[in-house]
Amino acid sequence: MKKRLMILLGMGLPLCLFAQHQMTNFGNLTFHAGAEVTLYGDFRNNGSFSDTSVVVNFQGTNTQIISGTSVPHFNNCKMDNANGVSLQQAITVKNNIHLVNGSLTLNNQSLSVLNGNINGITRLSGTVISEQPDNSGRIIWSIGNNTGIHTYPFAAITGEYIPFVMDLVSGDMGNVTIATYHTGANNLPYPSYPDVVTHVNNALGADNSANTVDRFWQIDKDGPSGIANVTYTATSTEVGGIANLFAYRWNTPTQGWELPPCVQTSTTSSVQVDSLSTFSPWTLAGNGMALPVELLSFTASLNSKRQVDLDWVTTSEINNDFFTVERSIDGIHFEKIGETDGAGNSNVQLLYHTIDPDPYSGLSYYRLMQTDFDAQQKYSQVQTIYIGNDTEVTLTLFPNPSNGNFTVSVTGLNNEYVIIKIIDVTGKIYFVKTMFAESNLIYQVDEVEKLAPGLYHLELIAGDKSYYSKFVVN
């Protein structure tokens, strides 16, 4: 018969075994090769816990809690508790964690897996629950340059399996950190860390929560490179009646959602994005208005002459009269820049190309309008492009020192959106403002609650660059 054991090891104390429900380590506890240790109670690590090649098996009949003042380092770990295991302390697994049964609830802790091979995390029917709006419940997998399909076996609180899949194609991702959580129908709360998301508006600035899946993903890596095919999965309830799903990435410098990458494959509750190399917050949205042509791609890119190349590919066309290419400086008001005849009816792949010879500086929006012979019109997804400013940007604050109210003067801008932030020396953000600027900007900062005396930084984000100035509040 298996016994429930508490192992109590103090500094200089003998090893004692008790028929209790908790294992507590106050000193140094080392397991050697060839053993499997089955735990039926809680595990608390207040010392240094490590093992070489044993399997620590959590197999209680009640929810087991892993806690303590120090991070335990398991070599191989097995979760086989139908009532689950709950973290109150981060854990590290050197070789393999096998999720046999039940859920490992991360709470606001992390599961770190040091084995970068695809078998670093395996499962039978067990899952991992993240579900923290500040993305503090996360899996950190040291994937590095280990190619192949790495499955992060997440589940929703409801128990529905929603795996996140990263199929590394090439490069060195380093540590890949993933967190995900469920939101309300209005997509609140928005992600608050490490990236702050402020809305789920579409390219026209209208609230798009009705067409946005009730889930966010935070993806981060610390490696120097990496290209992967990534799959996002939500629950059927979170998707609801949203069809034709696409994955969207939040762009922090522009404070908006980028248009989805072209190579995507979707099901009723998941989206696979191919050849992905840029991460941060992601979500899924759909119910877009489809073109009456089957559009394979529509892209906008800057050429060596600082002109914008606009290319699109169709795989079939029905009753297609012509295409109109439009651009916008604000994503709301579009103007025509070119028109190209369509093929009428076609079932072969056709390539189209035009140029914007005199594009705007800063961030611009491009879209494709297709017109039928019967004058019906439909739009493609909007593409964005950023053209940097050749002039030097200068940032000045006055008066400095001040009482907390001061003027920001910026020169060298050129028709672009900018973001102003006020940050203290600890990194706390007190103020964020997004506005459109032509060449120069004068802005009076008087919307901040009275700042405590001290040193602060003002950050100006213009396109893909940031500018800083220190100021003192008396």
Residue 136 · residue 191 · CB < 8 Å: no
Residues 268 and 304 both lie in one domain: no
Q: Where residue 23 falls among pLDDT bands split at 50, 70, 90?
A: low
Residues 309 and 262 both lie in one domain: no
CATH number where 373 lies: 2.60.40.10
Residues 217 and 305 both lie in one domain: no
Residues 100 and 187 both lie in one domain: yes
Residues 381 and 401 both lie in one domain: no
Residues 193 and 161 both lie in one domain: yes
Which of these three, 250, 285, 320, is where a domain ends? 285
Model confidence pLDDT, tens digit, residues 192-209: 999 999 999 875 567 889
Choice among 59-68, 95-104, 274-283, 290-299 with the minimum mean pLDDT: 290-299
Give the helix/strand (H/E) hosting 418: strand 416-424
End-to-end CA distance of the chain: 72
What's the pLDDT at 194? Answer: 93
Residue 420, token pair as written in the block: 């102003």
pLDDT at 3 over 50: no
pLDDT at 21 over 80: no
The SS3 call for residue 291 is coil
Model confidence pLDDT, tens digit, residues 30-60: 666 667 889 999 999 998 877 777 899 999 9
Domain with 328, as residue range(s), is: 294-387
DSSP 8-state class, residue 207: B
Residues 466 and 399 both lie in one domain: yes
Q: Where residue 329 falls among pLDDT bands split at 50, 70, 90?
A: confident
Q: Are strands 308-328 and 350-356 parallel, antiparallel or unpaired?
A: antiparallel
Residues 309 and 277 both lie in one domain: no
Note the Cα 284 to chain centre separation in Å.
Answer: 11
| Residue 69 is assigned to a structural domain of this protein | yes
Q: Where residue 29 falls among pLDDT bands split at 50, 70, 90?
A: low
Residues 139 and 248 both lie in one domain: yes
Number of Cβ atoms within 10 Å of the Cβ of 35: 12
Number of domains in the chain: 3
| CB burial string 232-267: b at 16+ within 10 A, e below | bbbbeebbeebeebbbbbbbebbbbbbbbbbeeebe
Angle at 201 between CA 200 and CA 207, to 5 degrees: 100
| Residue 1 is assigned to a structural domain of this protein | no
Q: Where residue 261 falls among pLDDT bands split at 50, 70, 90?
A: low
Share of the chain above pLDDT 70, in %: 88
Nearest to 297 by CA among 269, 325, 260, 329: 260
Residues 298 and 271 both lie in one domain: no
Nearest to 96 by CA among 83, 84, 111, 106: 111
| Residue 441 is assigned to a structural domain of this protein | yes
Contacts of 439 (CB under 8 A, 6+ apart): 411, 412, 413, 414
Model confidence pLDDT, tens digit, residues 400-451: 988 888 999 998 887 777 889 998 877 788 888 888 887 788 998 886 767 8
Q: Is the peptide bond before 153 cis (omega within 30 degrees of 0)?
A: no
Residue 362 · residue 238 · CB < 8 Å: no
Residues 19 and 128 both lie in one domain: yes
Nearest to 201 by CA among 387, 332, 328: 332
- Tokens 């290419």, located at residue: 325
Which of these three, 365, 387, 409, is where a domain ends? 387
Residues 278 and 357 both lie in one domain: no
What's the pLDDT at 244? Answer: 81
Choice among 153-162, 216-225, 318-327 with the minimum mean pLDDT: 318-327
What's the pLDDT at 417? Answer: 78
pLDDT at 10 over 50: no
| Residue 89 is assigned to a structural domain of this protein | yes
Model confidence pLDDT, tens digit, residues 231-248: 999 999 999 999 888 898
CATH number where 447 lies: 2.60.40.3080
| Residue 433 is assigned to a structural domain of this protein | yes
Q: How many residues does the chain have?
A: 474
Give the helix/strand (H/E) hosting 239: helix 236-239
Q: How far apart are CA 187 and CA 275, in angstroms?
A: 27
Nearest to 387 by CA among 366, 353, 359: 359
Question: What are the distances in angstroms from CA 137 to CA 129, 209, 428?
Answer: 8, 24, 21
Which of these three, 343, 365, 387, is where a domain ends? 387
Please give the sequence-ordered ranges of beta strands (E in DSSP) within 32-102, or none if there are none. Answer: 36-39, 42-45, 48-51, 55-58, 64-67, 73-80, 85-87, 91-101
What's the pLDDT at 390? Answer: 61
Question: What are the distances in angstroms from CA 199 to CA 190, 209, 388, 433?
Answer: 7, 9, 25, 14
Phi-psi region of 136 (alpha: psi -120 to 50; beta: other; left: phi over 0): alpha
Nearest to 396 by CA among 409, 381, 380, 383: 409
pLDDT at 291 over 90: no
pLDDT at 181 over 90: yes
Is the whole model's pTM more than 0.75, yes or no? no
Q: How far apart are CA 145 and CA 258, in angstroms?
A: 27
| Residue 194 is assigned to a structural domain of this protein | yes
